[in-house]
Structure 1
Amino acid sequence: MFQRNMGGRRLPAVGASSEPQGGHMKRRAFLRAGLTGAGVAGIAAAPLAAPLAGATTARGLDTLFNPRRPGRDYNGPVRLSSNENPLGIAPSARQAIIDGLDEANRYPGATGELVREALVARLGVKPGQLFFGSGSTEILRIASAAWAAPGGRLIYAEPTYEDVPRYSQPFAYDHVTVPLTSDYAHDIDRMREEVAKSSAPSVIYFCNPNNPTGTLTATGPIMDWIRDEGEQHLFLVDEAYFELADDPGYETFVPLIERHPNLIVARTFSKVYAMAGIRLGYGIAHEATVQRVLPFATRNAPNHVAGVAAVASLADDEFFAKSVKTNDEAKAIMYDALAQLDIEVLPSHTNFVMHRIKGELATYNERMFEAGFNVGRPFPPMTDWSRLSMGLPSDMEKLAEVMTDFRKKDWI
């Protein structure tokens, strides 16, 4: 059903900080353009503090917070509902946290600068073009607050990630939703038409790849729009799944920030780096834009634990490759299972897939829970679809057996 490309993906290396001439910078070219994780290895290698000897964790909390790590006794449902990385954080990040605990009583300004230096080396941006938050969701909240204005409009796809509409509720935004196209991409033409209907400033939100569909929107038309549009409108581009996307029509928006102050790119350490529970996201924008949003941002971000884990993770090319490979293998298993059952599924460039179900989603979720799997929440108007996060390949093999049994019972 889908062509799989299991090899050839590059690590997220440095890209140019200015907009490329004569065409767009493709993702693979962007990833190949500069330093690999070795570029920040020296930063990560610097000892942040002496290791803590004999650190222990209560068994109850240990099981609760890391139930899927190999060797744990855990009998609860497999969590395939929140697009988490089932591997857990990189061993290097785990050790960096332990080694850094002696500094946990200090405010994390110095740690934040280490993260900034590592990302500058990784992305090829300037130090003043970065700001931090508790996951990329806080970056989205900060942008929503900073651009709120009387009569302002928030324009986004339906369905898409819900946090931007949610965070904008305290402000006087006029919400404008635009349905996805028939191939589940953002409808750029209709979104442009909506912006043109009013002279009021708009925040235009793109989650690309899109959550919950996992689908891509070609970035060329969006980039053309950014170049053409007035600077009173903000383009908020959510690249939470950037490291997992691998398509010739997909490219990052980071090279545009130098010339376009009306653009913010949001990234996260939650997905490929498995730091969803530690919470660290970052925004990339023009220096003037960063200065505009900083009054709405939390001081002392990132926190110390997140910071040392991030620096170690950025230097850990081996874990990055393992994370991507594990996700690819899990998706391949699920694609094959759904194809054998003749169940419609959308092409995904993330760590989840969206597939059709039969009957009500609530009933399907209850049956899955009873079978040992916690699967995704509703995403109206796609109420006859289920968003399924990827677990370990062994999890997906077991889930495929459950789905086969569901088909025999006419439940799927």
Structure 2
Amino acid sequence: MERRTFLRTGLALGAASVGGGIGLLPELARAVPRRSADTLRLSSNENPLGLAPAARRAVIDGISEANRYPDEARDEMVEALARLNGVARENIVLGCGSTEVLQMAVQALATPDARLVLAEPTYEDVPWYCEPFTYRLERVPLDARFAHDVGRMQERAESAGSRALVYVCNPNNPTGTLTPSAEIDAWIESALEHVYFLVDEAYFEYCKDPGYWSCVKWIAQRPNVIVTRTFSKIFGMAGMRLGYALAHPETTALLRRYIGRVNANYLALVAGLASLRDPELIPRGCDANARGMRILYDCLDELEVEYLPSHTNFVMHRIRGDLRTYRQRMSEHGVRVGRPFPPMLDHSRVSIGLPEEMEQFADVLRTFRRNGWI
């Protein structure tokens, strides 16, 4: 029996022992802890559809090559991403998820008197990556639209002559809200030389608002703009860790000085390549997300619960009482919801699951209403 045939057979035999999916070799399946099928995992903005069928097949086929370093697959991925985004290979840097690329940028741009300017609340990994360095954190509350307060952020970034790294997560996590791209463009166009922009577009594929577009157009001429993307969300690969940055060649060369040299694993790369070749993947994911979102919106409207309209795969809604108590009660009802996001401790972030999962969540919300908990 050929090695690849043997591996496929072993993987298929392992499927029954883990309850679906692509399956595992039997001896590996015994070592994998099983997750409760009764728990709704609506806490981490994961794609409930999981890996695309073509990506699953690519992982199975790729196991026979997983003992080899991923140089060729890395090159193929860089080429594919360059074509997808209409840029050159030199504009791409791979990462273990976009979080590693965010970390590279924070490290690469650190200076003794640098500032990090960011919204509050926003995705918290970037300020966390600052901790070994001497960045001065400048947190600017979201404005009345729950958008980035671009004017105040600009004041903070340009008020001193030292380097400023501006982190813009757009659409924003955890609020799901949008900052109009024209406002960001206007600032980039007029920005002083010491101001760098780290633009996190993790939820780019979900946003259909006509006032939103990518900042990738700036990288050809502006070394001070870095755009990050991820395979964790619409591509359903959060556990496989694959992301990338788009930037001017001068900037990507700087980022690569802080890279884990062979930082994208082979199976993630072949899964990512297969996903990029699937023309129905993004429409399929967006459709499932929209249906789940509609179920949630209808329930929140029915219960007259205030929420922020979202451009992502999650929703921030208001709660009654203590957030820790709310999360504990959700857990007791078999639901995991998002972590706290100060200062919005009177809100809870819930990720969009499959439509049937959102129906279950809606029933839990109705139970909470009957108990006076929401």
Fold shared by both chains (TM-score > 0.5): yes
Count of residue pairs the alignment pairs up: 360
Unaligned stretches of 5+ in structure 2?
Answer: 24-33
**Residue of structure 1 in register with 2:357 after alignment:** 395
For the residue of structure 1 that corresponds to 2:9, the secondary structure is coil
Question: Offset at 1:121?
Answer: 1.6
- Aligned twin of 1:170: 132
One-letter code of the match for 2:261?
A: R
Separation (CA, whole Å) in 1 of partners of 2:283 and 2:17? 29
> Partners in 1 of 2:41 and 2:68 — Cα distance?
35
| Structure 1 residue 86 displacement after superposition | 0.7
TM-score for both structures, normalised by structure 1: 0.84
For residues 33-61 of structure 1, give each alpha carbon's deviation from its aligned partner in whole angstroms, at most 9, with x where no partner exists.
xxxxxxxxxxxxxxxx9563313376798
Deviations 1:132-191 (A, max 9, x none): 111011110000000000110000000000000001111110000000001100000001
Deviates more, 1:146-155 or 1:222-231: 222-231
Q: Measure, in 2, the Cα distance between the counterparts of 1:76 and 1:65.
A: 17
Determine whether 1:54 maps to 2:16.
no
Partner of 1:196: 158
Once residues 65 and 99 of structure 1 are traced to their aligned partners in structure 2, the CA distance between those partners, rounded to angstroms, is 15
CA pair 410-130 structure 1, distance change in 2 beyond 3 A: same
Shift of 1:222: 1.1
Contact 1:63 1:73 in 2 (8 A): no
Q: Deviations over 1:313-347 (max 9, x none)?
A: 00112222211100010001000100010000101
- CA deviations on 1:181-211 (whole Å, 9 max, x unpaired) are 0110000000111112211101000000000
One-letter amino acid of the structure 2 residue matched with residue 175 of structure 1? L
Matches within 5 A, 1:145-160: 145-160=107-122
The residue that corresponds to 1:43 in the other structure is none
Change (3 A) 1:66 1:235: farther
Deviation at 1:123, TM superposition (A): 0.8
User: Which position in structure 2 is the counterpart of 1:263?
Assistant: 225
Q: Tell me the amino acid that sits aligned with residue 183 of structure 1.
A: R
In 1: Cα distance, 2:157 partner to 2:35 partner = 53
Which residue of the other structure, out of 189, 192, 198, is the alignment partner of 1:236?
198
* SS of residue paired to 2:257: helix
Paired letter, 2:18: D
3-state SS in 1 of match to 2:238: coil
Contact 1:345 1:354 in 2 (8 A): yes
Aligned partner letter, 1:252: S
Q: CA RMSD in A?
A: 2.0
Normalised to the residue count of structure 2, the TM-score between the two structures is: 0.93
Q: CA offset at residue 232 of structure 1?
A: 2.2
Deviation of 1:77 (Å): 1.4
Please, which of 139, 142, 146 is the counterpart of residue 104 of structure 2?
142
Question: Any idea what SS the aligned residue of 1:150 has?
Answer: coil
Q: Pick one of 358, 374, 377 that aligns with 2:320.
A: 358
Q: Where does 1:71-220 land on structure 2 (aligned, <5 Å)?
A: 74-220=36-182
CA offset digits 1:88-111 (Å, max 9, x no partner): 100100101111112111110100
> What CA deviation, in whole Å up to 9, does each residue of 1:261-301 have, x standing for no partner?
00000000000000000000000000010001101011123
Corresponding letter in the other structure for 2:176: G
1:348 is aligned to 2:310: yes
What is the CA–CA distance in structure 2 between the aligned matches of 1:272 and 1:304, rounded to whole Å? 20
